[in-house]
Amino acid sequence: MDFGSYRDDVVLIASALVNHLTEGVDGTRSYEVPVDARARRARALQITALAGRRLNEDDLGGLVELAARLRPIFQACSVGKVDAAARLVNTLLTGYQSAPVLSRHGGEPWHLHYHESGVALADGWGAGCATGLATVIGAGEAHRLGVCTAAPCDRVFVDTSRNANRRFCTARCTNRAGVAAHRARWSAELTTGAKDG
């Protein structure tokens, strides 16, 4: 995959929306979606890089709803249920009325968007994320969409590595899983050694 295009950027944004706007476990800590409007707004702006844009409560609610609808796609892909993920993506494509459109704004050159101009913020991001995920799944790359395997963490990720063997959401979880595996091996060796002695 070419993780440098607009299409791939929206897939990375989809994972960020899920991680920052859905409840669960981040590493070993319980994660809750901020209820304070200011905190939610800051989180949404950070994810979508919409600095300078005012987000209203409808925008924020729409992004939280979008994140909740994206999470099951990552979950399905992480366990190889590609058909289920594809059905979920098709529902999003229809619901957010995804359609490729050339757009030009802010002095930028013409570029591709997946929604008409003037749609609600969450609808625009929903169309883009759905199309990006459809492209990944349609290219046979669903295995690149995953959920962290370092229990109890449930944050999602997009595997942009060359060999596509990522299993953890962050280096922190990678290290934590490595330490746990080392301790388990060490404990097993001690138990085996005690039985042999």
pLDDT by residue, tens only, the chain of 197 residues: 454 465 678 899 999 999 989 999 999 999 988 777 778 777 777 776 654 566 778 888 899 999 999 999 999 999 999 999 999 999 999 999 998 888 887 788 887 888 877 788 889 899 999 999 999 999 999 999 999 999 999 999 999 888 888 899 988 898 887 776 666 677 666 676 656 65
What pLDDT, on the 0 to 100 scale, is given for residue 196?
62
The number of distinct structural domains making up the chain is 1
The neighbour count for residue 46, using CB atoms within 10 Å, is: 12
Domain membership flag for residue 120: yes
Task: Please give the span between the terminal C-alpha atoms of the chain, in angstroms, as a whole number.
Answer: 53
Confidence (pTM)? 0.83
Taking the C-alpha atoms of residue 109 and residue 132, their distance in angstroms, rounded to an integer, is 21
The domain containing residue 114 runs over which residues?
A: 6-168
What is the SS3 assignment for 129? helix
E strands present in the chain: 24-26, 29-31, 101-103, 111-113, 145-147, 156-158
Domain membership flag for residue 176: no
What pLDDT, on the 0 to 100 scale, is given for residue 65?
94
CATH for 98: 1.10.3300.10
Taking the C-alpha atoms of residue 158 and residue 60, their distance in angstroms, rounded to an integer, is 23
